[in-house]
Structure 1
């Protein structure tokens, strides 16, 4: 682990280490020491871990050159707090258990079908035509899902088919009938059904199924079953209700897997205070600390407070927690996002030296950071190396390669890769191709791919439409974007958070912030699923940019009401509004202290500029 902490030194030199560490790990040695911060991320995959723990001393001695000046930004992996890349989403859910036997892996993955750990077997296209963005809504919103299921490839859960076929009957009614008819209902059947519902993000339905299983006593609930329920409740009803369930559980069921599941959901909304509280509880209960748990903390501090990451790394060393492939990928991302390309390459080489083979997602991350650092030749070399891997047998490769080749302006390579999968593309390939052509400003090509997808799949979800909507938004094509939204509604698509986000960005790009706000306001009031974090923050940033304090404060208030916990990011935008308005921000320090938001060096500098009592050269003379 010393290897990981040593890597933090170069980031500290870039001015990210400010203030004192305010985390208590329930061990005096950790809570009393301040270490250099390191920007890392999250655990995804349980698998390949070297028998040798990462050599702390050896990595600490690795040379770190001063950060170079690169063109461009680190936008490929550094997203606004509250958003997740697909990889991060996979990472968050790995380790959250599903209803399965105690001998099973206990790990599932949600989101896209980018699993590479082999721990679960999911239908390849289980979410192809499902509404990923709005599945938390009522059963009536599932619409013609049953019709679309017939297009899926086997295996597909018979239980899920029965639930959809019986709509609008309740889940409990369907399951009661299932048992009355004498149909088999094993843990394997339940696991497949729950995985399918999670894949389609139908968390309400999955929760109803879980509640029926518990009330009917068809299976004896284990701690893993309760952990699955905690996760679903957090997604449907929020953290407070999930925490309440944990507190009501008998002590024998309040296990590590239950608490780490609660922790993962706290981290997913970047609630620092609640995450630290849950982790401290785990330490107080003397629960084992897993790599998944540590990487959850790394993700949290990667987004909120980098100076605390060294504490996590020390904890991993003390607890003898071995880093896995995802840990190294996290460290690479941290270095890349900080423009420390040399440090990123050293982490990559250390991973290989520890016997962990980089997968295609890790190599893709390496290429992304090269691109964001302006190192096109290095990026292209990595992409070519990725192609020498078993690309034909790894459909994920096409999904990664298409937008990356577009990012370096290689239209010919995008066309070549698309032709490789064009004969039998998956939906992820269509989306990647649409994104790639959009990056290249070739809107006609993106539309052509979308039309191909629409012709092949008659009942596309709104998530698939959003791929083209994003192209229109990024290319400031409001008219075409609204035409596509109209087409979606005519085709019976459920309009959910992803679609709202695209519409909002369409209006923002067109300079119509008020209309974007109107869409957000209506979505927040009338939808069953709240809008995305970035939908709020993009409007808030626009108001802050123009120095509109009133409207910035208004959106800030909305986000607090909606339960978003990324307060550091919110205060950053809010203070910028006061700066641009050249107005004093009375009581801002007190507000931040009340919310337990502690400024880093950058935010402290911003605060000083809006401090109504700050002294200037003129004020000192006048005194």
Structure 2
């Protein structure tokens, strides 16, 4: 029976991979005359492609599986891609469409959280579903393959397990050292179990800075003997807060005996979440060199980054999974569903769902929400509402944890009546996530007063974080409500919130929307002086794009330089804006191609056209006459 299931899994991977490879073949032929065109997934079904190109994809698949085979794609947009038993590598292909760039900017610096079963949750889905773990407890590190002790999970909500967390969050200022010193001075227990619970709660609330301080204190004061889990947890937090270079430096100091698979896949997940294609492939290859097993988790990290940056490579990963007998996890299917949905291939998306069902993989509410989002984008209202009714169940009061998902999705459909109905069900005893989803939903429906009313109720009921405030702040930004936005930020400061990257980003956008670019730049410069946190990629780009529109080369170069200082490199979007600045200024851009080459970036069609116009050595009819 298992042999039959494994065969069907291999066939499903092969079919989907072959489908994507055929798309590459067809677009490759089209691209020979274009050079820098981007290969896109086309909205066709698997059956159509199997009938249309039965031979070419079989040849490609056979060549792909051969040991040491090099798979070439012609044209400037296609990169050298090598797959052997031990290696997966490519030249970093930064070429993308504007949609890909926008998607990358949107999820920039939103580092992925990791499920207890080892699968990474994509930030796009997180933003849609809100309560990403559906109310279920998660492992502190959230990277382990092993299940936590059931008795430990059962006691997780106990009073004794929340005391250390309360002591940490209630300490004044940013430092947690004093809270931990007092804890020890009082003779209170500082067990691994207590520490794990505190770190879990800090992570769930995105309080990564405090979590890192806890681990720093424990390590420096030798209050806990670190295992691979603690080292991996600290590595993850350093990557989130201080960037990949600092995470790699920390990894060098980890004792060799603890540099196992857990540490490497922690780094792999952070590389993927930061859209660092070159580094993600480098770490993946390193894991193979060290003879770590190829797991669904590692493959999913490749699928995630290729989904955002280079969709045509997804087929390569699926074929590698087939070759290495790697069984797709439920999250693998979720990624593939999202890939098909983003390419508007609804039929293909439905076929993946059918494959999941055939394999006995349950469609959880998060997967259903992703399906509903893509159905809504395709204008399939009836299908969307059918899924939402399924998520809701027969009695919503028995499934209150799905309210955030329903609120957001009904808002996407423009159903104010349903948003109001769902909100009334949970209004009597709402959770923070319910309120945040309601604020987002009313904001999407442009019902600002209703959004403000819910937010006011929240602020009276709970002490809100900067992340909570950012939800309403984004609504003010989208609606160009500068005065209200500034008042809300002042309220944040008065309430004791730490002003950080999300607030900076919203304030910069507010000023830009109001035409006050210099003030937006001033906010960015002040943010750069905060050594503990760095501004988001989108914050830099918001200001840089405005300077580019003006043809202000000096300030565009200044922002470009500061982005690189912050670690935002190997991205095509800043080069797009920089070329636009030179073009609008009608100035030649000396050495810009060389700068891109140094970053291993290759231009797409639109950027190539811009670079041709700012090329100082460009030949024109006039220049030919003068020569």
Which range, TM-score by smaller chain? 0.7 to 0.9
Cα 1:488/1:208, change in 2 over 3 Å:
closer
Partner residue in 1 for 2:468: 464
Q: 1:299 aligns with which of 290, 301, 304?
A: 304
Partner residue in 2 for 1:227: 232
Partner residue in 2 for 1:81: 105
Aligned partners of 1:390, 1:612: CA distance in 2, in Å? 68
8 Å CA contact 2:238–2:246 kept in 1: the answer is: yes
8 Å CA contact 1:74–1:369 kept in 2: the answer is: no
Task: Give 1:597 shift.
Answer: 1.1
Q: 1:438 aligns with which of 435, 440, 443?
A: 443
Aligned partners of 2:139, 2:245: CA distance in 1, in Å? 32
Taking structure 1 as the reference length, what is the TM-score of the superposition? Answer: 0.77
Q: 1:523 aligns with which of 522, 527, 538?
A: 527
In structure 2, list runs of 5 or more residues that go unmatched.
1-12, 28-36, 40-74, 121-125, 141-156
Q: 1:16 aligns with which of 25, 33, 38?
A: 38
Cα 1:499/1:309, change in 2 over 3 Å:
same
Q: 1:551 aligns with which of 542, 551, 555?
A: 555
Task: Encode CA deviations 1:46-104: one digit per residue, 9 max, x unaligned.
Answer: xxxxxxxxxxxxxxxxxxxxxxxxxxx989x9733362698x7335897499xxxxxxx
Task: Give 1:309 shift.
Answer: 2.9
SS in 1 for 2:218: helix
Q: 1:120 aligns with which of 120, 138, 147?
A: 138
Aligned partners of 2:270, 2:90: CA distance in 1, in Å? 28
Taking structure 2 as the reference length, what is the TM-score of the superposition? Answer: 0.77
CA RMSD of aligned residues (A): 3.8
Cα 1:85/1:594, change in 2 over 3 Å:
closer
Aligned partners of 1:155, 1:601: CA distance in 2, in Å? 60
1:385 lines up with 2:390 in the alignment: yes
Aligned partners of 2:175, 2:541: CA distance in 1, in Å? 37
Task: Give 1:317 shift.
Answer: 2.0
Task: Give 1:259 shift.
Answer: 0.6
Cα 1:527/1:376, change in 2 over 3 Å:
farther
Partner residue in 1 for 2:452: 447
Task: Encode CA deviations 1:293-314: one digit per residue, 9 max, x unaligned.
Answer: 1111222222233333333222
Structure 1 residues 480-559: aligned runs within 5 Å: 480-526=484-530, 528-559=532-563
Aligned partners of 2:571, 2:618: CA distance in 1, in Å? 24
Aligned partners of 1:29, 1:234: CA distance in 2, in Å? 25
Cα 1:234/1:474, change in 2 over 3 Å:
same
Aligned partners of 2:394, 2:601: CA distance in 1, in Å? 45
Task: Give 1:591 shift.
Answer: 0.9
1:193 lines up with 2:198 in the alignment: yes
Partner residue in 2 for 1:141: none
Task: Give 1:178 shift.
Answer: 4.3
Task: Encode CA deviations 1:526-571: one digit per residue, 9 max, x unaligned.
Answer: 4631111111112222333444333322221121111113522222
Q: How many residue pairs get matched?
A: 546
Q: 1:238 aligns with which of 220, 243, 253?
A: 243
Structure possessing the higher relative contact order (Cα contacts under 8 Å, 6 or more residues apart):
1
Task: Encode CA deviations 1:119-152: one digit per residue, 9 max, x unaligned.
Answer: 6279xxxxxxxxxxxxxxxxxxxxxxxxxxxxx9
Aligned partners of 2:543, 2:558: CA distance in 1, in Å? 11
1:157 lines up with 2:162 in the alignment: yes
Cα 1:156/1:440, change in 2 over 3 Å:
farther
Task: Encode CA deviations 1:371-423: one digit per residue, 9 max, x unaligned.
Answer: 33333343333323322377544444221221222222211111111112111
Cα 1:528/1:222, change in 2 over 3 Å:
closer
Aligned partners of 1:34, 1:555: CA distance in 2, in Å? 23
